[in-house]
Amino acid sequence: MSETTIIDQPIGGLMEGITDVLNATAVATLSAGEPSWLQERRAEAWSAYERTPMPTTRLEEWRYTNLRKLLKLERLGFDGIALDAATPADEGFELASAPERLRTAMEADREASGHLVEIDGRVVHVDLDAELAAKGVVLTSLRQAVVDHADLLKEHLATNALPASRGKFQALNAALWTNGVFLHVPRGVRLERPVRVTRYLTEGAAGSAFFNRTLILADAASQVSFVDEGLSADFDRQTLFSSGVEVMARDGAQVQYVSLQRMGRGVFHLQQQRTLAGRDSTLDTLNVSLGASVARTDLNAQLLGPGANSDMLGLCFGEEGQHFDHNTSQDHVAPHAKSDLLYKGALDGNARSVFRGIIKVHKGAQQTDAYQTNRNLLLSEHARADSLPNLEIEADDVKCSHGATVGQLDLDHLFYLMSRGLSRTQAERLVVLGFLGEVLSRLPLGGVVEKVTRIIEERLQQG
Amino acid sequence: MSDTPILSIRDLTAKVADEDIDILKGVDLDLFKGEIHAIMGPNGSGKSTLTKVLAGHPGYEVTGGTVTFRGEEILEMEPDERSQAGVFLAFQYPVEIPGVSIANFLRTALQARLDEGDELDLFDFQDDLMARMEMLEMDPTFAERPVNDGFSGGEKKRNEILQMAMLRPTLALMDETDSGLDIDALQVVSKGVNRLHEENPELTILIITHYQRLLNYIKPDRVHVMLDGRIVRSGGPEVALALEAGGYEEYRVADAAEAAEAARGS
């Protein structure tokens, strides 16, 4: 069988990625009625998007994810403008009448300090514990925050953490976000239960593009955990879901950010996250990638203050037809900080995963502890995992390590378990759950471990 | 003892799946209900292979012969089916399963033995597990540790006997359970095995070992000597004592003489 030779097009023109619906007019329409600082910010972001060429596989960061083949921007619709005007939240959302997948997901979350629900890009519900609200905690839609918390947004939205200058898709999101989440935890306030955000795309979302942003500000000595869960129907047309996530932990704050990606097939999930960890703060992240057809996550963790600590955890479970790409960086700017990354993936069918991680220790960031581990388990001979760990160290007094493995299910493991009476399926399930469970056990956040374990169990049972 | 052996091996030949030469070259062996047998032999004689073949290790291929367990031909059965039928293999090198606790593992294994729709009684299970761990002088916190992950050699072997105690097999194959054990651990493990045999006198045990040492604690009814894939001598406990004194040389010589004779005859 011969393969058609694909001749690489010359690196696209500067206007690459601009379509009939994703264009400057869309930005202008979206900006109408917004404060001028935001209009300017969107316009600047759009111009950065226009200036930045579409990433190709010639770039190290996109080597194994070929956007030419995988992303069809020109076919996407964009209804965001019409959908979510600056309407404030709550349109009488009833959990009982919500789509089943959304309802099941939310019913499993018993404990919460507050909820925000977004359906097809519209924020339809927000609630927050009254005591916390009285202490000054703010949980609201981003649109509403533009009105109510203009100063904070002006200072922090797409500026310090995730500015448009960080890349093509960061710019696209900063220009075209239609809504999202704003969470502000004032100094010293501690939230015992997580804040839960649930986003859902209905069947009607097929073929459209969605852009949302999340801005989390945790002031000094505050504490909060945030679980961001994304679900959708399955689509027969590519549907784009783009999330920009900015998390800031001020001095001594403790923040946990969890993303639970459970989108349906047909979704191209783009997620750009950046975390800024201040002095003596803890800023941990967990990215769980279970769904979507293509899922690309960029996570840049900035360790900006001495004593900052970031655990960076990731887990993916892929099946036939899924492609995951995790691109992480651990940026040690301040001395005496620690980051510890563990990403694990189990892949079945012809699923593919890419992990590219870099530890960057800047000059002067002495006494850095930085670790990076990526482990992959292939459950089928057609699955594939590529791992590209990297170090870039400009300080001389540091402890750093990185390691990556790609392995298959061990016959001896299976035999051992089967010799105790477990069927092959049960044995595989136990090995896979044990393998991935190590990640979850490092961030035992209420309900997340159980939920993820159950999802993986169910999927292994079907397989 | 009944007249029918519980385990009957006839002219069993087997090899490593992707190699050509047989490791087992015609093994014949009968075990009757409740008996304790020991197979001794030097490295590479095929005694560990025999236990793996009996338990159904996918890395080995049976090239001839039969194995009947409780009247049923088991060579076509999957390892889990053999386990459910009552065969247990205590591994020489137990496998580490990171992230899976002993309790979870044993719960799953016991649940798998129940009929569909039946649920394991978790309180009974917990009581049983704690009692068995106490018998084997294991710390209760062990139950929550991942299976064999980071265990010492002795801890791994105790864990094998713990599993044997929990799964209640009718036939236990113990592959060099004594290797890597200090004398204290050896005594604890042997005591555990003897206790299980007392509780269930019908428990049949096949012990694979290099050394007489273990047989001081677990008294065999029959001892077999294995050499180059065959059982070359069978007898009472005195066989083990003779081996301890004289080694395998006489069998090697006898074996060579026999081979020469066979060659002349053909």
Which of B51, B92, B97 is the best mutation test for A, with the most CBs of A within 10 A?
A: B97
Is B149 inside any structural domain?
A: no
- Tens of pLDDT, residue by residue over A85-120, are 445 445 678 888 888 888 888 888 778 999 999 999
β-strand partners of A340: A311, A371
- Tens of pLDDT, residue by residue over B54-107, are 999 999 999 999 999 999 999 999 999 999 999 999 999 999 988 889 999 999
Note the pLDDT of residue A7. Answer: 44
Is B39 inside any structural domain?
A: yes
In chain A, pLDDT over 90 holds for what percent of residues?
78
Residue B45: give the domain boundaries: 7-95+168-265
Pick from B100, B104, B112: CB nearest A421? B112
Note the pLDDT of residue A22. Answer: 92
β-strand partners of A366: none
Which of A45-59, A85-99, B239-253: highest mean pLDDT? A45-59
Give me the DSSP letters along B134-153.
HHTT--GGGGGSBTTTT--H
β-strand partners of B233: B225
- Shortest Cα distance, chain B CAs vs residue A437, angstroms: 6
Q: Report residue A460's pLDDT band, with 50, 70 and 90 as the boundaries.
A: confident
**Which residues in chain B have Cβ-Cβ distances shorter than 8 Å to A410?**
95
Is B147 inside any structural domain?
A: no
Note the pLDDT of residue A106. Answer: 86
Pick from A412, A422, A438: CB nearest B99? A438
- Shortest Cα distance, chain B CAs vs residue A261, angstroms: 23
CA dist list (Å): B129 to B104, B144, B164, B249: 11, 11, 11, 45
β-strand partners of B7: B31, B69
- Picking from B170, B196, B232, the residue whose alpha carbon sits closest to that of residue B39 is B232
Average pLDDT over residues B106-110: 94
- Picking from B263, B221, B217, B225, the residue whose alpha carbon sits closest to that of residue B243 is B225
Q: Report residue A8's pLDDT band, with 50, 70 and 90 as the boundaries.
A: very low
Q: Which residue of A has its CA nearest to B83?
A: A421
**Which residues in chain B have Cβ-Cβ distances shorter than 8 Å to A433?**
99-100
Average pLDDT over residues B238-243: 86
Distance CA A463, CA A348 (A): 9
Is B71 at the interface with chain A, CB within 8 A? Answer: no
Q: What is the CA radius of gyration of chain B?
A: 19
CA dist list (Å): A419 to A370, B60, B79: 41, 14, 5
What average pLDDT is seen over chain A? Answer: 91
- Let me know: does A292 contact A321? Beta carbons within 8 Å: no
- Tens of pLDDT, residue by residue over B123-141, are 999 999 999 999 999 999 9
What torsion do the CA atoms of A416, A418, A424, A428 make, to the nearest 10 degrees?
A: -40
Distance CA A76, CA A238 (A): 7
Average pLDDT over residues A350-366: 97
Average the pLDDT over each of A28-42, A71-85, B86-100 and give the range with the smallest value. Answer: A71-85
| CATH code (residue B217) | 3.40.50.300
Distance CA A396, CA A364 (A): 9
Average pLDDT over residues B29-45: 94
**Which residues in chain A have Cβ-Cβ distances shorter than 8 Å to B84?**
421
- Shortest Cα distance, chain B CAs vs residue A285, angstroms: 21
Q: How many other C-beta atoms can be found within 10 angstroms of the C-beta atom of residue A218? A: 28
Tokens of B211: 């050394």
- Shortest Cα distance, chain A CAs vs residue B45, angstroms: 21
Q: Which residue of B has its CA nearest to A428?
A: B97
Q: Is the pLDDT of residue B113 over 60?
A: yes
Chain A residues at the B interface, defined by Cβ less than 8 Å, are: 410-424, 426-427, 430-431, 433-438, 441
In degrees and rounded to multiples of 5, residue A407 shows phi and psi of -135, 170
Is B185 inside any structural domain?
A: yes
In degrees and rounded to multiples of 5, residue A136 shows phi and psi of 100, 5
Amino acid symbol at A247: V
CB contact under 8 A, A419 and B89: yes
In chain A, pLDDT over 70 holds for what percent of residues?
94
- Shortest Cα distance, chain A CAs vs residue B232, angstroms: 29
Give chain B's domain count.
1
Q: Is the pLDDT of residue A231 over 70?
A: yes
Pick from B84, B94, B104: CB nearest A421? B84
What average pLDDT is seen over chain B? Answer: 91
Average the pLDDT over each of A47-61, A175-189, B214-228, B240-254 and give the range with the smallest value. Answer: B240-254
Is B102 inside any structural domain?
A: no
- Tens of pLDDT, residue by residue over B153-208, are 889 999 999 999 999 999 999 999 998 888 988 999 999 999 999 999 999 999 99
Give the global pTM: 0.85
Tokens of A322: 């899924």
| Domain boundaries of chain A, sorted by first residue | 24-305
In degrees and rounded to multiples of 5, residue A61 shows phi and psi of -70, -15
Q: How many other C-beta atoms can be found within 10 angstroms of the C-beta atom of residue A380? A: 16
